[in-house]
């Protein structure tokens, strides 16, 4: 498959993709129409922050399976548009955590001790020893906005220097913060108590311009003046407000590695303030980080192209790699049960219930439920998959529920997909025989033993002699061979259900001929 790389990544990642048997195409100069042409036949796209993955670009790539972001932030990727198109978006959040944290620590020291300014003055021939009075970190308060992976690593490193830690993060528990030695507080309290404030949040509509004039004025209210460090994402801090706060002495200094617009404009007010240290987005710029990010992204892409869970998928079900072998055999069972259920129901689906019984109930089942939804909607929607199936359900107003029980009657594990409209429903159950042989074992309460593959005919009929022979004759006259069959009934002479595995599809006129017999209640052709 073709993997298109449009931003520079370490060669180790490219080598890993080639070793996986894929055709790697590097087009880091492509833009506009050339970029759209390059991605037209790509199955995977790898970017950093230089490529904007827009809805238009995604529409230009009908074969695309996955977009890999070689880094953490995905604000340059239209994740909603990717989800609509069924494209996985994955990032590499671990690869540059250490590098970003270390750069944050370095920038904290740089602004606290005016290291770049003193260096510049000395290189210019000035021995300005008396003009730079630094601040020691030990004994001061570090405020952390965003206690995610990088924020936690920064907390560990600076806690070891004797700083008191306070943190603001609405998505983390107080217990987790406490284990890191940080007190979880509200943003206002974090600003008021901090001598140094370090930012580690993604850029979202909620965090854009999170720190403006008012917030910067509160930073370090209990001290002479505070310091701000941002090595996370540009746009979280109002750059004009920050430049003014340092220039006016509201803040003692700042160190910034990321900017709202990159490259930073020569006209930026940040460049005119001597107390602001700036670096050109170097947080992940270490050889180890670049290699880690590239190989991690490559692994995400390889997993997606192989149809395996993507550990760092942002818009698709994921799971621990160690758990996947136990769940993988049931992915196709869940999808097939959903496909059979929706084709048998033949009506407006308003609810879907996925039930797990037995050993499978103890596993992570998010991927299985998404696969079941994919099976339900696949006959109804173009290009539906496990990525966008949950959204399709939401858009259609379909109520999705999941339930688990450790009891599975006669089976070690059982996956049941039930579709309904509030008045009637139909359920299809699947399992594995001998650990790897998939079977459909129950349809609408009837016990069956059907191989879920190829062409199937499901017939409801009166339990009368000669009916199976009639069906066989009709199929035989049409030149359709029966590969296997199973018949189940409620009671002798009651209603029965028969499943036929066939070598050929069943045309509508043949179904009409079958249903023309008064003994046949319903005949449905299932395509798998």
Cis peptide leading into residue 263 (ω within 30°): yes
378 catalytic per annotation: no
281 catalytic per annotation: yes
Residue 19, both tokens: 């070793």
* Contact residues for 286 (Cβ-Cβ < 8 A; gap 6+): 96, 99, 102
Would you call 364 exposed, middle or buried from its count of C-beta atoms within 10 A (0-12, 13-18, 19+)?
middle
3-state helix, strand, coil in the chain (%, to 5): 35, 25, 40
* Contact residues for 136 (Cβ-Cβ < 8 A; gap 6+): 112
**Residue that is written with structure tokens 């403006």 in the block:** 212
Please spell the DSSP secondary structure of 227-263, one letter per residue: EEEE-S-TTSB-HHHHHHHHHTTSEEEEEE---SSSS
**Residue that is written with structure tokens 């069924």 in the block:** 86
Q: Which residue of the set 262, 394, 464, 490 is catalytic?
A: 262
**Is the separation of the CB atoms in 257 and 103 below 8 Å?**
yes
Dihedral sign, Cα of residue 252, residue 256, residue 259, residue 260: negative
Q: Which residue of the set 69, 233, 335, 460 is catalytic?
A: 233
149 catalytic per annotation: no
* Contact residues for 231 (Cβ-Cβ < 8 A; gap 6+): 100, 103, 104, 107, 150, 198, 199, 200, 255, 256, 257, 258, 283
Burial 451-476 (b: 16+ CB within 10 A, else e): bbeebbbbbbbebeeebbebbeebbe
Q: Which residue of the set 69, 98, 281, 460 is catalytic?
A: 281
- Nearest CA among 255, 258, 312, 253 for reference residue 283: 258
Distance CA 346, CA 349 (A): 9
Catalytic residues: 233, 262, 281
């Amino acid at each position: 498959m073709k993997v298109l790389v449009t931003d520079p990544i370490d060669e180790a990642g490219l080598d890993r993709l080639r070793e996986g048997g894929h055709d790697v195409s590097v087009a880091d100069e492509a833009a506009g129409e050339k970029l759209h042409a390059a991605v037209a036949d790509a199955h995977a796209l790898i970017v950093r922050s230089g490529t904007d993955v827009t809805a238009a670009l995604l529409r230009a790539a009908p074969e695309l399976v996955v977009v890999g972001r070689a880094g953490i932030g995905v604000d340059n990727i239209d994740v909603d548009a990717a989800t609509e198109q069924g494209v996985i978006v994955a990032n590499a959040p671990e690869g540059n955590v250490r590098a970003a944290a270390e750069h944050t620590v370095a920038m904290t020291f740089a602004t606290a001790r005016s290291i770049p300014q003193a260096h510049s003055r000395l290189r210019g021939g000035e021995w300005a020893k008396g003009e730079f009075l630094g601040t020691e970190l030990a004994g001061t308060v570090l405020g952390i906005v965003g206690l995610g992976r990088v924020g936690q690593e920064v907390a560990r490193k600076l806690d070891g220097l004797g700083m008191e830690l306070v943190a603001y993060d609405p998505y983390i528990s107080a217990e987790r913060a406490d284990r890191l030695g940080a007190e979880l507080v509200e943003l206002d309290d974090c600003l008021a108590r901090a001598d140094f404030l370090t930012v580690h949040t993604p850029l979202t509509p909620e965090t854009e311009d999170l720190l403006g004039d008012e917030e910067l004025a509160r930073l370090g209210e209990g001290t002479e003046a505070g310091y701000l460090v941002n090595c996370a994402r540009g746009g979280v801090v109002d750059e004009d407000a920050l430049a003014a706060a340092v220039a006016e002495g509201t803040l003692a200094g700042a160190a910034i590695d990321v900017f709202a617009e990159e490259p930073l404009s020569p006209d930026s007010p940040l460049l005119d303030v001597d107390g602001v240290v700036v670096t050109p987005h170097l947080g992940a710029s270490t050889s180890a980080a670049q290699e880690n990010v590239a190989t991690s992204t490559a692994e995400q892409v390889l997993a997606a192209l192989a149809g395996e869970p993507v550990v760092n998928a942002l818009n698709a079900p994921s799971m621990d790699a160690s758990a996947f072998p136990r769940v993988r055999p049931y992915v196709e069972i869940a999808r097939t049960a959903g496909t059979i259920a929706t084709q048998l129901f033949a009506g407006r689906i308003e609810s879907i219930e996925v039930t797990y019984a037995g050993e499978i109930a103890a596993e992570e089942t998010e991927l299985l439920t998404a696969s079941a939804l994919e099976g339900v909607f696949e006959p109804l929607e173009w290009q539906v998959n496990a990525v966008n199936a949950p959204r399709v359900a939401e858009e259609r107003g379909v109520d999705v529920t999941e339930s688990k029980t450790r009891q599975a009657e006669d089976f070690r594990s059982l996956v049941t997909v039930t579709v309904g409209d509030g008045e009637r429903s139909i359920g299809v159950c699947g399992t594995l025989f001998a650990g790897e042989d998939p079977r459909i074992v129950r349809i609408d309460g009837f016990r069956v033993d059907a191989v879920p593959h190829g062409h199937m005919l499901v017939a409801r009929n009166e339990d009368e002699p000669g009916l199976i022979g009639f069906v066989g004759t009709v199929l035989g006259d049409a030149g359709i061979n029966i590969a296997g069959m199973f018949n189940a009934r409620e009671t002798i002479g009651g209603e029965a259900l028969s499943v036929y595995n066939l070598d050929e599809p069943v045309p509508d006129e043949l179904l009409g001929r079958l249903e023309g017999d008064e003994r046949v209640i319903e005949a449905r052709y299932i395509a798998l």
